[in-house]
Amino acid sequence: MHRRVQSLTNLLDAYQGGAYNRVMSVDASNAATQFRAYTELVRKNGIDDAVVIETSKVYTAPWVRMKCQFGCSGYGETLCCPPHTPTPEQMRTILDSYAYGILLHMQWRKDNGATEQFNDALLDLERTIFLDGCYKAWALGSGPCDRCEKCNIEGLCVHPDKARPSMEGCGIDVFKTARGQGLPIHVLKSRREERNMYGLVLIE
Ligand code: SF4
C-alpha cells in the first residue's frame, strides 16, 4: 500500500508560531516569503518542489483543449475532464481572478499510488490555506480523476470534496508554465517512462 500523505493540517497543528491561523494580506514583493510556510510543509510531505507563482505566469492555450479532444482516450470519461471542465478562455478568466498560485511538482517513480499521494497533498494544501482564511483557495490536480471505478458521468460527482480537474484538463499549458519556473518536464516516449506531475493551488 502506498505511503499516505501526512495531513498538512496535522503538521500545522504541531507547528509553533501560529502564522497560519490568520487571514493573510499579501503584496507582490513578498508573496514567496509570505507563503514559504506552505511550500516548506508540502516538501516535508514528499513533494519535490513547491513554488509560489504569479497567475500571470500560468499559461493557457487553445491547443491544450484540442489535444484532450483529439488524442486522449479519457476525453469525456470523467466529470473532471473536458468537455465538463472550463475552456482555456474561461480558465484564463478564473486565473486572472487570483493573484498567486502554489505550483507543486513531484516526479512519478513507478510507485503505485503516487498520483493519489500527489493529489491528496494538493487537497490537504487547499484545505489548510482555506482554513487559514484564504477563502478563494482552490486546487487543480494531476491527471484524470480515478477516485471511482466508473465516473458518475450522467449525474453529479459523488466525491465533490475530493475531485479536482487537472491543470491540462482546464486548458493550462503545463509545459510552458513549468519550464517558466525552471522545473523539469519532457515529452514521454513510452507509458512506462517516469514522469513529472504538476498541480496548482490558487491562492490570494
Ligand atoms: S470522484 Fe468519481 S464521480 Fe467525481 S469526477 Fe471523480 S470519478 Fe467522477
Residue 10: inside a domain: no
The residue nearest atom 3 of ligand 1, judged by CA position, is 157
Residues contacting residue 176 through CB under 8 Å, at least 6 positions apart: 59, 61
Q: Which of 157, 161, 164 to mutate to test the pocket of ligand 1 (most atoms within 8 A of CB)?
A: 157
- What is the model's pLDDT at position 70? 96
**Weakest mean pLDDT among 1-10, 56-65, 68-77, 167-176:** 1-10
- What is the model's pLDDT at position 186? 93
Angle at 151 between CA 148 and CA 157, to 5 degrees: 90
Residue 9: inside a domain: no
Residue 12: inside a domain: no
Number of folded domains that form the chain: 1
* C-alpha 120 to ligand 1 mean position (Å): 14
Is the pLDDT at 24 greater than 50, yes or no? no
Residue 1: inside a domain: no
**Is residue 113 very low, low, confident or very high in pLDDT (cuts 50, 70, 90)?**
confident
Residue whose C-alpha cell reads 509553533 in the numeric block: 16
Residue 13: inside a domain: no
- What is the model's pLDDT at position 91? 98
**Is residue 26 very low, low, confident or very high in pLDDT (cuts 50, 70, 90)?**
low
Residue 191: inside a domain: yes
Question: What mean pLDDT value characterizes the chain?
Answer: 86
Q: Which of 85, 123, 152 to mutate to test the pocket of ligand 1 (most atoms within 8 A of CB)?
A: 152
Mean per-residue pLDDT for 16-42? Answer: 65
Which has the higher per-residue pLDDT, 108 or 39?
39
Q: Which atom of ligand 1 is nearest to the CA of 78?
A: 8
Nearest residue to 83 via CA among 96, 93, 101, 70: 70
pTM of the model: 0.85
Nearest-10 crossing angle of helices 62-69, 88-96: 140
Residue 8: inside a domain: no
Task: Provide the residue range defining the domain that includes 147.
Answer: 25-203
Nearest residue to 51 via CA among 35, 67, 65: 35
Residue 82: inside a domain: yes
